[in-house]
Structure 1
Amino acid sequence: MTASLFAAGLRTVVANLPAMLPAKDDHWRRAWGPIACGLPILGWVVLEDGPWVGLIVLFAGMSVLRWPVRGLRAQFGRGV
């Protein structure tokens, strides 16, 4: 396991903790930290492990941040 995949896994676990708590704003305030940390880690994963592994890490990150992603989709008219 490369260091970038370890960092991505650690980021997923740490981002999951506040995502389990209820929030009135669809978790947007809690989502900015994992998004800001996840983007450089995603670039690092793509650089070290390739784009296919990067896509898997991207989808894993989106699954943790599912409520902000659904809220963003609702803003653009696609519904939930």
Structure 2
Amino acid sequence: MTLSLVLACLWAVAANLLAMLPSRDNHWRRAYALIAVGVPILGYVTWQNGPWVGLMVLAAGMSVLRWPVIYLGRWLRRRL
């Protein structure tokens, strides 16, 4: 297993642990931090393992952070 995949797995574990903790802002600050950390990891995974593995890691990250993705889709639909 490459270093980039290990980092992606650690990101997923951290995201699940952060989701278990209570939050007053519905986890939005944590989601922003996870996105800020996850985008470079996703780029590293794609660079080191190829685009198909990168797409699988992207899909896994989108399933963890589904509400930011849903709100982004709604915002894009309003803009179009």
Give the alignment's TM-score, normalised by structure 1: 0.80
Deviation by residue 1:9-61 (Cα, 9 ceiling, x = unmatched): 10011012223456565532221111011111011111110000000000101
Q: Give the total of aligned pairs.
A: 78
Correspondence for 1:13: 13
Q: Which amino acid aligns with 2:30?
A: R
> What is aligned with 1:62?
62
Identity percentage over the alignment?
Answer: 62
What is the Cα deviation at residue 73 of structure 1? Answer: 2.2
User: Aligned AA for 1:45?
Assistant: V
Which 5+ residue runs of structure 2 have no aligned equivalent?
none
Q: 1:29 matched to which residue of 2?
A: 29
Moved over 6 A (4+): none
**Stretches of structure 1 lacking an aligned partner (at least 5 in a row):** none
Shift of 1:70: 1.6
